[in-house]
């Protein structure tokens, strides 16, 4: 139920479809495709009724930074009976093709969620190994991170990403659009 789109296919359709960006509000504020509405992946279930209604009015396209979160969102939307389109390569492909991104005034750079996950996971593994030199039981920290990453790959979910999404720099900016604002915009 998900149809992939290239940048060249999406560009002329921007005003004709509803574009949903499932990245964190911090990532969205730093730069998003013009007209995209922000529904963070961890809030998708709350937005399902509004997305179902929006899909009845216009085609629904989902985007993230590179594609994995959009693919996850599309699978979840398909399971709810909502057909979607998705941009192959996400906003990275969009900006890489020389297309404009809208940015919130005063937005500061935020690492993408996958980069945050790699940093935290790598730091935990390194700490487990280093502390394990003095306290051998600390190596279990590294083992737990490895097990979590393996489980994440097998289930295509990410508990660490869900936890990181709750950090202040990944939440809506004061004065910026909230999920309620997005849901209201979908209802128009």
Local confidence pLDDT in tens for the 188 residues of the chain: 789 999 999 999 998 999 999 998 888 988 999 999 999 998 999 999 999 999 999 999 999 998 889 999 999 999 999 999 999 999 999 999 999 998 877 666 777 777 888 888 899 999 989 998 999 998 898 898 888 888 888 877 778 877 887 777 776 666 677 888 888 888 75
Q: Which residue, among 182, 145, 170, has the nearest Cα to 18 in the 3D structure?
A: 182
Q: What pTM value is reported for the model? A: 0.75
Give, rounded to a whole angstrom, the gap between the first and last alpha carbons of the chain.
Answer: 25
Q: What is the pLDDT of residue 106?
A: 67
CATH fold label, 2-107+173-186:
Oxidized Rhodanese; domain 1 (3.40.250)
pLDDT digits (tens, 9 = 90+) for 92-135: 999 999 999 988 776 667 777 778 888 888 999 999 899 989 99
**In the chain, which residues fall in CATH 3.40.250.10?**
2-107+173-186
């Amino acid at each position: 139920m998900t149809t992939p789109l290239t940048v060249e296919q999406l560009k002329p359709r921007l005003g004709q479809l509803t574009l949903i960006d499932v990245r964190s509000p911090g990532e969205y504020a730093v730069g998003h495709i013009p007209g995209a509405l922000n529904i963070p992946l961890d809030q998708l279930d709350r937005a399902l009724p509004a997305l179902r209604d929006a899909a009845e009015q216009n085609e629904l396209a989902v985007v993230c930074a590179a594609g994995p979160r959009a693919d996850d969102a599309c699978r979840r939307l398909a399971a709810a009976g909502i057909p979607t389109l998705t941009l192959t390569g996400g906003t990275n492909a969009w900006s890489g093709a020389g297309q404009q991104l809208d940015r919130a005034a005063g937005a500061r750079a935020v690492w993408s969620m996958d980069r945050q996950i790699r940093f935290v996971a790598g730091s935990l593994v390194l700490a487990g190994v280093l502390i394990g030199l003095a306290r051998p039981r600390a190596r279990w920290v590294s083992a737990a991170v490895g097990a979590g990453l393996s489980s994440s790959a097998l289930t295509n979910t990410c508990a660490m990403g869900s936890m990181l999404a709750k950090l202040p720099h990944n939440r809506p900016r004061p004065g910026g659009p909230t999920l309620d604002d997005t849901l209201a915009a979908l209802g128009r």
